[in-house]
């Protein structure tokens, strides 16, 4: 595996993506092509809506190694030493090596991806919901990841993974969107790196990052403050590692309220007493779970624009991804929400 990872890290991507939309690999059977084992197409409304804001590249490991659609389904067989993907019902055709090779090729050719949207329960694409069997046993032994997600976790561990089903989960959708947009902005920064650009990146994300982990934010700040002690490659690697650790954290209402109060502090001097009372009421409702975090965000964003509070307007915590996404997703009664 070390040899594989070394070769992968020095492989030049076939597709040099330089856009500002997050680059996403998506299962081809989700809205794109009738390529499932039964010849069907899966309708995924959230993925269709997000198409406007994400750069999609479709994948289907099974059809891309030449399997027809419709076709006999594949079963995942796992022992203590290895795993196989076999064709049912004859269980004579083994496809794990071709599918593994195809999965690695996807990732080599698209090494700049920020995430993947995959069909759940698929033995090739299922993130954690694929039935697996023991040899000679027709009853499922449990649930496991398919081959493509396994390769993603080995070779591109920072890529955000989400299933089509989990796109309908407000919490999981929120973290997916936040991560892919932060990593996209980070990749664009590295492409045109400068010390000033890194300082601006940290400044614009400061409040958002504080919601995840204050200690890591402080460490990021120390690296930037002492960046003359590093060469560029070392600086980017150190900061990137901290960013990766930070994005693995979960938000809490308590930390988020502290961030909201921090932002409010930049605005409060320009507010009258009734507006301050309104904000405190929203905070109490949010603390009790009686209102969404978006009501507070929208209130702060509106007041900041009204009074031209540049610091808050420029903060990514008010818009970690394009706000239009929330408006369009609300048409299908779905709004990302980490709480």
Domain boundary among 205, 226, 246: 246
C-alpha to C-alpha distance for 300 and 43, rounded to whole angstroms: 36
- Is the domain of 166 the same as that of 209? no
pLDDT at 75: 87
What confidence score (pLDDT) does residue 45 get? 98
Q: Are residues 34 and 153 in the same domain?
A: yes
CA distance from start to end of the chain: 38
The predicted structure's pLDDT at residue 10: 35
Kindly report the number of other CB atoms within 10 A of residue 62's CB atom: 27
**310 and 240: one domain?**
no
- Whether residues 13 and 51 share a domain: the answer is yes
- Domain with 287 in it: 253-332
- pTM (2 d.p.): 0.91
Q: Tell which of 224, 246, 268 closes a domain.
A: 246
* Beta-sheet strands, E only, within the chain: 23-27, 55-59, 74-78, 83-87, 115-118, 130-133, 142-144, 160-163
- C-alpha 228, offset from chain centre: 32
Kindly state whether residues 321 and 268 are assigned to the same domain.
Answer: yes
Report the percentage of the chain scoring pLDDT > 70.
93
Angle between helices 253-265 and 195-212 (to 10 degrees): 130
Question: If you average pLDDT over residues 311-331, what whole number do you get?
Answer: 95
pLDDT for 1 equals 40
10 Cβ contact partners less than 8 Å away, ≥ 6 residues apart:
none
Predicted confidence (pLDDT) per residue in 12-25, tens digit: 455 566 678 999 99
C-alpha closest to that of 23 among 185, 194, 244: 185
Tokens 């818009």 belong to residue: 319
Per-residue pLDDT at 112 exceeds 70: yes
Return the closest-CA partner of residue 32 out of 23, 24, 20, 40.
Answer: 40
Q: What is the pLDDT of residues 96-108, one digit of tens each?
A: 899 999 999 999 9
Query: How high is the pLDDT of residue 134?
Result: 86
Q: Sorting pLDDT into bands at 50, 70 and 90, what band is 7? A: very low
Question: Within a domain: residue 8?
Answer: yes
Does 241 share its domain with 298?
A: no
Same domain, yes or no, for 38 and 169?
A: yes
Question: pLDDT higher for 163 or 91?
Answer: 163
Q: 128-159, pLDDT tens digit by residue?
A: 989 988 887 888 889 999 999 999 999 999 99
Q: Are residues 304 and 159 in the same domain?
A: no
Judge if 292 and 216 occupy the same domain.
no
């Amino acid at each position: 595996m070390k040899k594989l990872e070394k070769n992968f890290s020095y492989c030049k991507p076939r597709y040099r993506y330089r856009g500002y939309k997050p680059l996403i690999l998506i299962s081809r059977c989700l809205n794109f092509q009738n390529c499932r084992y039964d010849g069907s197409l899966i309708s995924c409304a959230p993925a269709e809506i997000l198409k406007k804001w994400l750069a999609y590249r479709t994948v289907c490991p099974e059809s891309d190694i030449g399997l027809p659609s419709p076709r006999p389904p594949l079963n995942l067989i796992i022992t203590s030493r290895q795993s196989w993907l076999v064709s049912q019902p004859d269980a004579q055709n083994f496809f794990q090596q071709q599918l593994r090779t195809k999965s690695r090729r996807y990732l080599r050719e698209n090494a700049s991806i920020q995430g993947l949207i995959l069909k759940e329960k698929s033995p090739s694409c299922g993130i954690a919901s694929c039935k697996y069997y023991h040899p000679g046993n027709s009853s499922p032994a449990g649930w496991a990841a398919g081959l493509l997600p396994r390769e993603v976790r080995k070779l591109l561990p920072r890529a955000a993974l989400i299933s089509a089903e989990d796109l309908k989960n407000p919490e999981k959708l929120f973290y997916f969107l936040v991560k892919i947009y932060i990593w996209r902005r980070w990749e664009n920064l590295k492409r045109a790196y400068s010390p000033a650009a890194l300082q601006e990146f940290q400044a614009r994300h400061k409040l958002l990052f504080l919601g995840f982990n204050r200690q890591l934010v402080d460490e990021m700040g120390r690296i930037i403050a002492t960046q003359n002690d590093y060469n560029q490659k070392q600086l980017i690697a150190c900061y990137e590692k901290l960013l990766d650790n930070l994005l693995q954290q979960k938000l809490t209402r308590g930390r988020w309220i502290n961030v909201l109060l921090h932002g409010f502090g930049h605005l409060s001097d320009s507010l009258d007493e009734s507006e301050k009372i309104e904000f405190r009421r929203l905070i109490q409702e949010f603390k009790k779970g009686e209102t969404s975090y978006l009501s507070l965000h929208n209130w702060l964003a509106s007041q900041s624009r009204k009074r031209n509070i540049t610091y808050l307007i420029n903060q990514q915590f008010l818009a970690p991804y394009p706000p239009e996404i929330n408006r369009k997703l609300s048409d299908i009664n779905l709004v990302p929400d980490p709480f």
